[in-house]
A and B are shown apart, each in its own frame.
Chain A
């Protein structure tokens, strides 16, 4: 995880659009300016970043399902629960399953676990829209390659300039 850059997912562990399932690995950094404020002398991962981590985990599933034809933007987190504190250095396992892909929106059930214990869960909803520009699309494809999204999930015709 690079918290300051909102890069929450380090690695795709499993990505199966047919099974509507994704698993990710997200290691909380040992140090980050975020921990200087949250909290002084007692660093823990902010709950909003747990939600963001679940949203990004599910987001890769939506992107792969659409073969990067459109971008999912977080619009709603329902029934979000942060069940325990998450500390620097802790490794989180993200998991999300696509429960609905509507027209222009998508819904996943997501959770984070650590050492097999659930630390957070939420239903995440996205508005799914065409990429607003080529810069974002190219960046998403680059990040996808970096974290290990298989080429089979990429667009059949590579994007211009990607």
Chain B
């Protein structure tokens, strides 16, 4: 079974036409990979479908915009994967 990172990296590579090898756990989706907001919605849609979750993008965006958390918390891939794992765990709890 593919790890969360493998699945997410595969989705990003396919959705955003980015070389799979350039995506690492420390990549920042926006700053390093250049994913814009529209592409990120595509990624979010694919992740939601793949994991059967609903990522709270509105809440995350609001927290970042209000300066409550760094964008790294949600947009660095390993952190994104960690948040996905939490949502999956919460769903099955």
* Contact indicator per residue, chain B 37-57, by CB within 8 Å of chain A (1) or not (0): 010011011001100001111
Q: Given B38, B49, B58, which contacts A103 in the complex, CB threshold below 8 Å?
A: B58
Alpha-carbon gap, A103 to B45, bound state (A): 10
**B45 and A104 contact, CB distance less than 8 A:** no
Closest to B61 in A: A104
Q: Does A111 contact B (CB under 8 A)?
A: no
Alpha-carbon gap, A76 to B61, bound state (A): 20
Alpha-carbon gap, A102 to B49, bound state (A): 10
**B38 and A102 contact, CB distance less than 8 A:** no
Given A100-B45, A102-B45, A104-B57, 5 more pairs with CB closer than 8 A: A76-B42, A102-B48, A105-B45, A107-B45, A127-B41
Q: Does B3 contact A (CB under 8 A)?
A: no
* Contact indicator per residue, chain A 86-101, by CB within 8 Å of chain B (1) or not (0): 0000000000000011
Q: Does A75 contact B (CB under 8 A)?
A: yes
Interface of B is mostly: helix
Q: Shortest beta-carbon distance, B19 to chain A, in Å? A: 23
Q: Does B59 contact A (CB under 8 A)?
A: yes
A101, A102, A105, A125, most chain B CB atoms within 10 A: A102
Given the known A-B contacts A75-B38, A75-B41, A105-B44, are A100 and B57 also in contact in the complex, defined by CB atoms under 8 Å?
A: no
Closest to B56 in A: A103
Kindly identify, within residues 27 to 41 of chain B, every residue whose CB is under 8 Å from any CB belonging to chain A.
38, 41
Alpha-carbon gap, A76 to B15, bound state (A): 14
17 contacts between A and B (CB under 8 A): A75-B38, A76-B38, A100-B45, A100-B49, A101-B54, A102-B54, A103-B54, A103-B58, A103-B59, A104-B57, A104-B61, A105-B41, A105-B44, A105-B45, A105-B57, A125-B41, A125-B45
| B contact residues around A105 at 8 Å (CB) | 41, 44-45, 57
**A100 and B58 contact, CB distance less than 8 A:** no
| A contact residues around B48 at 8 Å (CB) | 100, 102
| B contact residues around A102 at 8 Å (CB) | 41, 44-45, 48, 54-55, 57
| A contact residues around B57 at 8 Å (CB) | 102-105
Nearest first, the 7 A-B pairs at minimum CB distance are A104-B58, A103-B57, A103-B56, A104-B57, A103-B58, A105-B41, A102-B48
